[in-house]
Structure 1
Amino acid sequence: MFLYGASGHSKVVIEVVRSGKEQFVEALYDDNPGRDELLGVKVVSDKTVFESKSEWLIAIGNNRIRKKINDKLKLNYVYLVHSNATLSPSSKLGKGSVVMAGAVINANALVGKHCIVNTGAVIEHDCIVGDYVHVSPGAALAGNVEVGEGTHIGIGAVAIQGVKIGRWATIGAGAVIIRDVPDFAVVVGNPGKIIKYNRF
């Protein structure tokens, strides 16, 4: 398979691939590489790789950039799950998403396309996580939480059961979400408070 991106996030995704036995990373594509290899995987900038029928994953941490690339390139995207992650058989994971080591996705949780469920994150039963969401290391969503497209849940943040977090919101590191969060809001603290709105 190929990964799009040759940065720090790509290193973690390479190791997710290597944790399994069925796939290997043939190369990383980056349009501004600055390096020839990453963790022993060659880095290329030749766009002819997009003509390949190989499997792909966008290994870039920025939610908006992942969306932009997916909107531009219709490739054979797959999802990846670290061998030390735990996924309920009744959960669903969209194409292009990656689940890191120690993460847990529980019963009937739905995770959209091109999401990142980072190291040790927990997505509890019946959660609905939209496309292009990043749930950072150690973050936890209790049961029945909904997260809108493109939202970033910061490291160690938690959301109590049943809350709805809007689209393209930012939940700060360690924030405690006890009430619904509107689209584009930036929320920090315990309890979480809106400090501004994202402008795009």
Structure 2
Amino acid sequence: MFLYGAGGHAKVILELLELNGLSCTGIYDEYAGKKQLLGYTVSEILDDAYKQPGAALIIAVGNNKIRKQLAYSLAAEWGMVIHPAANISSRSSIGKGSVVMAGVSINSEASIGQHCIINTNSAVDHDCRIDDYVHISPNAALAGSVQVGEGTHIGIGATVIQGIKIGKWATVGAGTVVIRDIPDYATVVGNPGRIIRINGPEDAGL
């Protein structure tokens, strides 16, 4: 398994690989300015080793927009890694490139897209649909049948009641309680959640 990215998010993924008995063959990061990460060598030069048969790459970058840009620019077979202490329904699905951290619960017939981050102790309940490049932050909780659009960030400790639809490239602030649908590109904060800003595609860096 290869990683692209050598920041804090990459540290967590490295330990996930170790817990699953998987080896990290290489780490790439042109901008990290470091030679090692947790004892693994970091290369600033992106060679073709990650393209070799049987190899897989995970984009170990927390920023949703950058993950999408890299996913489109890198020709790779995408890996996926799930913490052994996560509780994952056999009737759920998780897309390539996604990572699932410790203590996560993903319940029956929930669908997780590609290149998502389902972070520590978060909960995705039955029949939720999480689109590509979404980040569900630590301790966030999504009740049943919630839909989350592409690239949206659900902040730490946020709560979303059942049946809510959250648009693409939205931001739900830390601790927010979402009781109404959220449109595309909106930033929502508070209890109950209220829209404080509507960005556009250009603000999402797309």
Q: Shared fold by TM > 0.5?
A: yes
Q: Please state if 1:14 is matched with 2:8.
A: no
TM-score (norm 1): 0.97
Percent identity between matched residues is 52
Q: Return the alpha-carbon distance in structure 1 between the equivalents of residues 190 and 51 of structure 2.
A: 46
Give CA-to-partner distance per residue, 1:97-143, whole Å, 9 cap, x none: 00001111000000000000000000000000000000000001000
- TM-score (structure 2 length as normaliser): 0.94
Q: Equivalents in 2 of 1:120, 1:63: separation in Å?
A: 20
Q: CA RMSD in A?
A: 0.9
Runs of 5+ unmatched residues, structure 1: none
Matches within 5 A, 1:1-200: 1-21=1-21, 23-48=22-47, 49-53=49-53, 54-199=55-200, 200=203
Paired residue total: 199
Please report how far the alpha carbon of residue 32 of structure 1 lies from its aligned counterpart in structure 2 after TM superposition: 1.7
Q: 1:34 is aligned with what amino acid?
A: G
Between the aligned partners of 1:192 and 1:76, the Cα distance in structure 2 is 38
The alpha carbon displacement at 1:27 in A equals 1.7
Residue identity in the other structure for 2:75: K
Partner Cα separation in structure 1 for residue 196 and residue 51 of structure 2 = 45
Structure 1 residue 50: deviation in Å? 4.2
Secondary structure of 1:77's counterpart equals: coil
Question: Which amino acid counterpart does residue 102 of structure 2 have in structure 1?
Answer: A
Q: What per-residue deviation string (whole Å, max 9, x for no partner) do you get for residues 70-101 of structure 1? A: 01112010211011111000000000000001
Counterpart of 2:123, as a letter, is: V
Displacement of 1:19 after TM fit?
A: 1.2
Runs ≥4 residues deviating over 4 A: none
Distance in 2 separating the partners of 1:62 and 1:148: 16
The one-letter code matched in structure 2 to 1:114 is H
Matched residue type, 1:72: S
